[in-house]
Amino acid sequence: MNLNKQEIETWLRETNSDRLSELWQMADRVRRRSVGDAVHMRGLVEISNHCRRRCGYCGLQAGNSRVPRYRMSAIEIRSSAAEAFSYGFGTVVLQAGEDTGIEGEWLADIIRTFKRETGLAVTLSLGERNEEELALWREAGADRYLLRFETSNRDLFRAVHPPLKGAASNRFDLLRHLRELGYETGSGVLIGLPGQSYNSLAEDICMFAELDLDMVGSGPFIPHPDTLLGRGLGFDLLPPEEQVPNTALMGYKVLALTRIVCPEANLPCTTALTTLNTNDGLESGLMRGANVIMMNLTPLTLRPFYEIYPEKSCFTEEPAETWPRLKNILEALERSPGRGPGGRKHGLG
């Protein structure tokens, strides 16, 4: 099913509940036809909160002196990732700020150990890294790489994501290079960034299809008080009628539209959505196009320090208690936990 940019923008602006019900049903039909009823579980390990960037939206940004910094040891990472294997998950996701203290060969050795001992698929989400490191990790056995481009509006991107000295960012080129290296590639955007227009967000969704992404994870912008955007600083704002709201409803619209334009992609119900909608955020996401759940396996003692935004829904979740609850949710929705690594399957639609 094809939607052009104007049709996408019209849906993003839609407020009629009956019309939106049509959108949810459309996305769920595409999901069922294209990826089936399996919900793939990913075990998320936030291995470091060090970051060299000064992004205007992220609590881990380098200028935030209030956050205690940590970097997990290889033993700690392997122990946390082993939980994913024990629960029968097919994938472990290693996520961090853009931390140059994570050295190439050190991480490659951890990846090799994972692959040898568990057979788990390994997804990396480590920001912009150099080509040598990305190639090394792929050779070591990493399967996927997540790099959100945040917004396709280049001026807005530069405003909220200042480049490093002498190193301009081009995440679209980097995503294409990751594909060339053989990674499954994932990306996504922040929904409702100050300065993000409906037209710009529609362009973002078109870019998901143009890049032929294997995974897309987008969530509403939640301001962090220790950032420029959290303090209401940064750049001129749009007229209210053009500014995309950072609401759970808008997050569900983007999720549903992404499923329609990227029918085969793996789409998580992001933590930001479940943070904003604490009642049925996960269930709503799974009924509006999502087929992936990320379960946080970072040690509970460290999770509060990986505060990209405040009051994340996973800060206090104990995996041994969370997993039975998730299985009950899937059963109620007549969905089932996926088997194996859960990579993108082409041509099912």
Q: Residue 320: CB partners within 8 Å, gap ≥ 6? A: none
Predicted local distance difference test score (pLDDT) of residue 349 = 44
Tell me which amino acid residue 125 is: S
Residues 6+ apart with CB under 8 A from 88: 41, 337
Backbone angles phi, psi at 11, to 5 degrees: -65, -40
* Three-class DSSP category at 238: coil
pLDDT digits (tens, 9 = 90+) for 226-260: 998 988 765 667 999 999 999 999 999 999 999 99
All domains in the chain, ordered by first residue:
5-332 (3.20.20.70)
Give the pLDDT confidence score for residue 313 in this predicted structure. Answer: 67
- For the segment 21-29, the average pLDDT, to the nearest whole number, is 98
Q: Is residue 190 a contact partner of residue 219, using CB atoms and an 8 Å limit?
A: yes
- Three-state DSSP at 40 gives strand
233 by DSSP, 3-state: which? coil
What is the pLDDT confidence band of residue 268, given thresholds at 50, 70 and 90? very high
Q: How far is CA 148 from CA 110, 190, 206, 254, in A?
A: 24, 8, 15, 15
Distance CA 316, CA 301 (A): 9
* pLDDT, tens only, 150-202: 999 999 999 999 999 887 788 999 999 999 999 999 999 999 999 999 999 99
On whether the CB atoms of residues 130 and 164 are closer than 8 A, the answer is no
> Quick one: angle between helices 5-13 and 198-210, nearest 10?
130
